[in-house]
Structure 1
């Protein structure tokens, strides 16, 4: 009698492809839930587009090898639930600051490009950090290296805020305990 692939993999250890597939399968439900929460649409067209986008992200992450290196785990999801409200508050504070600067009778906008350190972060954490910078109004991350992220800001205060390190500390808290 022949054993199923799952039983054979469990008995002989998982191959690299099986591990990558399992990492993607663990990540997919999290992406589906995240997409549903952010979209808030439950019509057939939107659900279909969401399913296609999640499938595409899963395939691309498997092909890039991100899923098996930095896959989504329950502890990471729990840490993200603590991080996202913090990021939401930062986005709101930055949005009000940008509106105040832009609508000022004499806007004193002096765009600046600088780097913020990101050394010691995993690939997934670097992506979260760079995207968090971009989500925050007034700043845009546009180049990610192994040890830094280049940032464009409407003025020096945006870069100074990143240099203070509050966002980097929050992103480091997402990393697994070593």
Structure 2
């Protein structure tokens, strides 16, 4: 889809004030992306001497600067620190839920009664979110959680999810959607 509006002039969707991001917001966004890239680089490279850390920091900053125009306008809402912190909190919460779901799925899969306990179900629901980025994160979060897979989602927020059993099906969309609506906004 062609967009005639330059990315730098797009307004932030889902915020109270429809102002374009300020220079400070852009700088903070750049530094946050560079920091994330640098930490990832340091962990994956395993080199912690001053030369390699300097090269990693410069490379991370360059890639963060170079990728500025690739960020969708809606993603620019994370230039606001509160939004970035809310999303980081959601990521930590999601990790905890993934561990819990892993244990649950392992327990029912290894059960001698697995064939009786596993009861695949399809769940359909309409999300309260209107943000495309929020819908994408919700769909990916559902799929990342063991025992559930997002089969279909559209731009209007209609979801089809496959769940391994009734208990997992009952938890969809649940707290995931509530937490993401708090970050991205949505319908009441």
- TM-score in terms of structure 2 length: 0.64
Change (3 A) 1:138 1:149: same
User: Residues of 1 paired with 2:83 and 2:136: CA distance?
Assistant: 14
User: Residues of 2 paired with 1:57 and 1:130: CA distance?
Assistant: 24
Deviation string, structure 1 residues 40-90 (Cα, Å, up to 9, x no partner) = 30268xx7xx97x979976655xxxxx113423222101112212211111
- Equivalent position of 2:150 in the other structure: 141
User: Residues of 2 paired with 1:172 and 1:113: CA distance?
Assistant: 23
User: Residues of 2 paired with 1:37 and 1:86: CA distance?
Assistant: 20
Deviation string, structure 1 residues 1-51 (Cα, Å, up to 9, x no partner) = xxxxxxxxxxxxxx724336x99987565445445556730268xx7xx97
Cα pair 1:133 1:139 within 8 Å, conserved: yes
Q: Quick check: 1:87 aligned with 2:97?
A: no
User: Residues of 2 paired with 1:28 and 1:92: CA distance?
Assistant: 31
Change (3 A) 1:55 1:139: farther
Deviation string, structure 1 residues 137-156 (Cα, Å, up to 9, x no partner) = 11111321212221111112
Change (3 A) 1:120 1:17: closer
Cα pair 2:131 2:185 within 8 Å, conserved: no
Change (3 A) 1:119 1:176: closer
Any idea what SS the aligned residue of 2:152 has? strand
User: Residues of 2 paired with 1:106 and 1:56: CA distance?
Assistant: 54
- TM-score in terms of structure 1 length: 0.67
Any idea what SS the aligned residue of 1:100 has? helix
User: What are structure 2's unaligned runs of at least 5 residues?
Assistant: 11-22, 47-51
How far 1:114 moved relative to its partner? 1.8
User: What are structure 1's unaligned runs of at least 5 residues?
Assistant: 1-14, 62-66
Deviation string, structure 1 residues 70-118 (Cα, Å, up to 9, x no partner) = 4232221011122122111111110100000111112021222222321
How far 1:133 moved relative to its partner? 0.7
Over aligned residues, Cα RMSD in angstroms?
3.5
